[in-house]
Amino acid sequence: MTTQTLQLLALSTLTAVTLAACAPSETQSSDRSSNQAETSTSSKDVTDNQQVKDQLKRLEDRYDARVGVSALDTESGESVDHRADERFGFASSLKVFAVAELLDRTTPKELEKNVTWTQADVDEAGWTPVTEKHVDDGLPLEDVAESALRVSDNLAMNIVLDELGGPEALDDAMEKDGDSTTEVTDEEPELNDVEEGSTDNTTTPAAFTASLQGLLAPDRLSDDDRRVLLDWMSANETGDPLIRAGAPEGWVVRDKSGHSDAIQNDIAVVTPPDREPIVISVMTETDDPESEDGPALVAAVAEAVLTEFE
């Protein structure tokens, strides 16, 4: 090889190295753009979430109330939380989990069993719009369970709990399914009683949202049981002025409400058109147990939160 050839090769190699060192790589540029986009999206999510929390704080001030929210978009994984780990009395919103457990444990044939009760049972339970009419003849267990959800019949709830083995049995079942937060202690109407400093008859919005999401899982309920449960929730008469009132038009709301004195709750599976559902728990407690603003507060909270998922 001649001296001239060696010089040309050296010059060519030097030029290639120099160009490689000076030119930014496409991978580095792509990574940088991707990181910038992720940072921008993350900042936007944090900002949006803070705006919702600020709005919820204003609602708390306006209604003299404490508000707890846990909402999860099961499609995107996005969530909105406010006081999500604080304890609230669950009141009748617990009924959805009792009925779900009953459906899971029974066959359609077993649900045909006729159940009876006494007038004393009716008197002790309080709110009994269906069962009070059937003291003489009773009802099939399926109708009793449906009454617990659709019209929040208290005696119907107690009968469901009795079929499961009592409040402790429901508490054990919920813990087995991953909810170690909720404390089921009493039947109706005592399950509405919450003593300061006690966890009895309380839960958190985060715990109820996780438990409600669990009911949608294919390994938790059969397709038929889930269909029945959601159908009964979709016609929950006590839920019309609550989350359903605050949801965007065209969104389907399947819910279970809970109310007692200062407590006004609603938990729901909310399905936007052509999307996977949003699971949401709204729990409120006003400073005035005589206040009638609970439904309006829950609706306003639902509107503020669900708008973020549009």
Cβ atoms 131, 155 nearer than 8 A: yes
Bridge partners, residue 114, by sequence: 140
Q: Among 153, 144, 219, 228, which residue's Cα sits nearest to residue 188?
A: 153
- Could you say which of 92, 152, 211, 257 is catalytic? 92
Q: What are phi and psi of 199, to 5 degrees?
A: -95, -5
Give the whole-angstrom CA distance, residue 190 versus residue 75: 38
Q: Residue 202 carries which DSSP code?
A: E
Q: Which amino acid is at 184?
A: V
- Could you say which of 38, 190, 195, 237 is catalytic? 190
Q: Residue 91 carries which DSSP code?
A: G
Tokens 């929950």 appear where? 236
Two tokens at 39? 């940072």
Residues with Cβ within 8 Å of residue 274, at least 6 apart in sequence: none
Cβ atoms 288, 262 nearer than 8 A: yes
Cβ atoms 177, 190 nearer than 8 A: no
Helix %, strand %, coil % of the chain (to 5): 55, 15, 30
Q: Does the annotation count 211 as an active-site position?
A: no
Give the whole-angstrom CA distance, residue 64 versus residue 58: 10
Q: What is the largest CA-CA distance in the chain?
A: 116
Q: Does the annotation count 92 as an active-site position?
A: yes
Two tokens at 251? 């969104």
Alpha carbon 302 to chain centroid distance?
Answer: 12
Q: Give catalytic residues, as residue numbers.
A: 92, 190
